[in-house]
Amino acid sequence: MSIAMKFSSGGALPMQKSGYLIVGCAAISIVALWSSVDNFRASPSKLIDVSGVVTSMRCEEGRRGNMASVELEIAGSTEVYPYPGILPRARELCDRVNIGTHVALRYSTPGDPEIWSVAIEGRSFIDTQEAESWRHVNGWAAIGVGAFFLMGGLMTWRRYGFNQHF
């Protein structure tokens, strides 16, 4: 028996627009809530310091002209150090740092570095407390987005169910 025959012969109705909307809202809320978990941890107790001259940098623009990330390579190191767009002033970092600029970084996780502090030419650009604070703000924003889509999905389900074509 084909699926089309089963549905046309009184079986379960196929999912309509409301069902796809509910599933989409649930998926977005799960992803948003899951991504927020990582942002609430405290800064690592053991950070690694590296300093030197920038040998390469790449600035990636995101949506609406915001910086998605800034990647730095430092002389004497084989790592690529990404400054994520969730931290403040990524565009300013991109504008202030050039090849040959001396920077000092504090990061965690060798092999997949996560920047927690940046100093440019001996002046602090961002410290660990500010980085931790911005990560918490990003976590709360993700919780807000997740809750918004979760409530939207629940309201759609209550009003229309899965099988409404609206």
The model's pLDDT over 5-24, given as tens digits with 9 standing for 90+, comes to 444 445 555 667 888 888 89
Supply the pLDDT for residue 14: 63
pLDDT at 4: 47
In CATH terms, the fold of domain 48-126 is OB fold (Dihydrolipoamide Acetyltransferase, E2P) (2.40.50)
Contact present, 47 and 107 (Cβ < 8 Å):
yes
Q: What is the pLDDT of residue 100?
A: 93
Q: What residue segments make up the domains of the chain, in order of their start?
A: 48-126
pLDDT of residue 36: 81
Please state, in angstroms and rounded to a whole number, the distance separating the CA atoms of residues 147 and 145. 6
Cα angle 134, 138, 19; round to 5 = 180
In the chain, which residues have pLDDT < 70?
A: 1-15, 163-166
pTM, 2 dp: 0.67
